[in-house]
Amino acid sequence: MRKTMRAFMRALAIAITLVTLLSLTPTAAAQQPRPRVVIINRVPVFDPFFAYPFGYPYPPNYVERNYGYVKLDTHRKDVSLYVDGGYADKIEKNKKIALRPGNHDIELRDSDGRQIFQERVAVMVGKTTKLEIPS
């Protein structure tokens, strides 16, 4: 009985050690880079038929004083917009986006994920950068 108990305790200690060591080693999923998250702000639209009932948390003209705009001039509606490598929006929804000032990589990809357009643009506060995308 004593030998059996000692063998069981030894096997249990080895199992706990192996589980601890395996949980500490990084897996392949943990080594892959995380996708970048890019925050864009939609351009506000004045709608006289919809009154927002709550207080607006930002001062008036906050976006205009802190952001620049990128306007996309294209006839394609089936492409996705990527800013700095991160998914931003569908083109059918957003033709003008507000971005923080600085240099940004703008990409358009079709529904299969193939890149159809790429350009690096400089965004300045209060200015609109227009991108003409060939059809």
Looking at residue 120, its pLDDT comes to: 92
Q: Quick one: average pLDDT of 69-82?
A: 86
Output the six-digit token pair for 77: 């509606």
Q: Among residues of the chain, what percentage have pLDDT more than 70?
A: 68
Examine the pLDDT at 84 and tell me if it is beyond 70: yes
> What DSSP string runs through 16-64?
HHHHHHHHHSPPHHHHSPPPP----EEPP---TT----S--SS-TTHHH
Is the pLDDT higher at 9 or at 94?
9
Confidence band (pLDDT; 50, 70, 90) for 9? confident
Q: Rounded to 5 degrees, what are φ and ψ at 31?
A: -85, -15
Q: Classify domain 33-45+60-132 at the CATH class level.
A: mainly beta
Looking at residue 105, its pLDDT comes to: 92
Domain ranges of the chain: 33-45+60-132
